[in-house]
Structure 1
Amino acid sequence: MVGDIKNIVVFESLINERLTGTEIYNETIVKKIDLYKKSFTHKLYSINSKNELIELLKYYDYNSTHLIGGILFHFEMHGASDYSGLILSNGELITWKELTNLFRPINIKVCNKLFITMATCHGRYLYKGIETFEKTPYSGYISANNAIYPSEIVEKFTILFDRLIENGNLVDARLLMQKTETNFYYKDTETAFEDSYKSIYDKLMNNEEYKANYIQGVKIQAKKDRQPIPDAETLELIFQRALKDSYHKHKKAFEF
């Protein structure tokens, strides 16, 4: 079932402020696992630098095949104000592209059972790190549209993790959290792909030079094949079909 989780990993990188990740981990994750007597693996990492985070994600890449069931990575750190990635407690930036490149080999090894939750401002822009001609880096993620505050983080993710640990399914837990009028929402890999590919499609559709070069190529090929050169309407249809073919090729490469 999509969203089934057996392993929870919390990455926290905060300083001189409320340690929401530690609070949620100690007060909800650990206590609820003990209370419900569940067999989750769980770990909290308090990290200070980009390199620490990278090395931890590489560690999970190496060891992911030994983890049974879905994996949830939960991030407690700040989002960059320019929507470019996450900010570590020492001020370093790790971009969305860098993160997705670290997630991808893990997700491949666990057969698309890696999920991401982000208690960060502007976390929805994680999709910007997607490379549409490569396999999806995660099955889905929960993030915020805009700025969020520590009290909201603790309140909403307490609801989410309580339900997740009770029944083991992130998608179901998200539905319960969503009923509380939260700023956090779930995006699956399908939607993330569509959002990412849309920018590519729009650029190709509106790039007159690209279109002209493609159509010129069709004409040249027709001459080589000693075929009649298509009229303008047919050339437009050929171009539209090429864009659709490109979409399907990207999606086939992206999906499992």
Structure 2
Amino acid sequence: MVGDIKHIVVIQSLFDEDKKTGAELYNDTIRMQIEYMQAQNIKMTHSFHNVEDKEALIEILKYYGANSPYIQGGIVIHLEIHGLENLEGLILKNRSIINWEEVSDLFREININTCNKLYVTMATCYGRYLYKGVDPKKKSPYSGYISASQEVTTGEVMEDFTLLFQSLIESSNLVKSYLELEEKGSNFYYKDSERIFEENFQSVRAKLLIDKNLKNEILKEAIEESKRAGKPIPDEEMGNYIFEKALLDIYNLHSNAFKFDC
């Protein structure tokens, strides 16, 4: 099922003056509940990493990428890292920066090898902008993620993610656990990658429909092709059809990002 989880990975990279919410969440909730409350036959794997800088984060994600072909079942990677105010990525403990495209590329290998079973949760201000790292010509880097679109407080992080992971460890399903959190009221929300694609494509489509220059370029190309083939030159009605067909072709090409052969 979508959202079923067998593995939890927590990665923390917080400033010296910060409360270490990732370590607290891992030690007091995730590790304790899995080890002492989960039945042996459904026991999840779990791990914690405290990283200093961008290079260490890359190394950890590459490690999971290299081992992802052997990971059975869904995996959650939970990030306790600050988000940049300019919405371009993450800032780590030593103030080094990694942009969303770099993060997404590292996630992509894990998601492909787990057959679209990577889920990302982020105790991160402006984490929703992870979507900016998506390349529609490449496979989706994650099945879905939980994040915030604004600044979040330490209290929100601890309260909401404690509830989320308690529920996840009980139910083994991240989507179900998020829906319980949503009922309580939260500034964190869940989005799956396919829905993000649909929303973005419709937004782009709307802009393209009013972009006369682009529409004329597509029509011009169709006219030249018709001339070369000795076919009638498209009129306005046919031009509109050609433009819609071009948009559909783009849609079908990019939708391959969500098709996984496994």
Answer yes or no: same fold by TM over 0.5: yes
Aligned to 2:126: 122
The Cα of 1:192 is off from its aligned counterpart by: 2.0
RMSD: 1.5
SS of residue paired to 2:79? strand
Q: Does the Cα contact within 8 Å between 2:136 and 2:254 map onto a contact in 1?
A: yes
Question: What letter is aligned with 2:35?
Answer: D
* CA deviation vs aligned residue, 1:17-38 (integer Å, no higher than 9, x gap): 1111011001100111123234
- Mapping of residues 133-144 of structure 1, within 5 Å: 133-144=137-148
Q: Deviations over 1:115-137 (max 9, x none)?
A: 00000001111111111121111
1:6 corresponds to = 6
The equivalent residue for 1:86 is: 90
Tell me which residue corresponds to 1:43: 47
Q: Is the 8 A contact 2:38 2:170 kept in 1?
A: no
- Corresponding position of 1:55: 59
The worse-fitting range, judged by mean Cα deviation, of 198-207 and 137-146 is: 198-207
Instruction: Provide closer, same or farther for how the CA distance between residues 48 and 172 of structure 1 changes in structure 2, counting only shifts above 3 A.
Output: same
Question: What's the offset of the Cα at 1:221?
Answer: 1.2
Gaps of 5+ in 2: none
CA shift digits 1:127-149 (9 cap, x unpaired): 11111121111111000121100
Counterparts of 1:206-221 in structure 2, within 5 Å, are 206-221=210-225
Comparing 208-217 with 226-235, which one deviates more in the overlay? 208-217
Read off the aligned partner of 1:2 and give its amino acid letter.
Answer: V
Amino acid at match of 1:128: K
Mapping 1:1-256, distance limit 5 Å: 1-15=1-15, 16-38=17-39, 39-198=43-202, 200-202=204-206, 204-256=208-260
Tell me the distance in 1 between the aligned counterparts of 2:259 and 2:193. Answer: 8
Deviations 1:192-233 (A, max 9, x none): 222443454355434433322211111111111111111112
Q: Scaled by the length of structure 1, what TM-score is found?
A: 0.95
User: Between Structure 1 and Structure 2, how many residues are aligned?
Assistant: 256
Tell me, yes or no, if the aligned pair for 1:117 and 1:143 is still in contact at 8 Å.
yes
Q: Which moved more, 1:154-163 or 1:213-222?
A: 213-222
Gaps of 5+ in 1: none
- Listed one character per residue, the Cα deviations across residues 29-71 of structure 1 (whole Å, up to 9, x for unaligned) are 0111123234111111111100100011000011112222111
- Give percent identity, aligned residues only: 46
Distance 1:255 1:65 in 2: 17
Query: Structure 2-normalised TM-score?
Result: 0.93
* 3-state SS, counterpart of residue 44 of structure 1: strand
Residue 184 of structure 2: SS of its match in structure 1?
coil
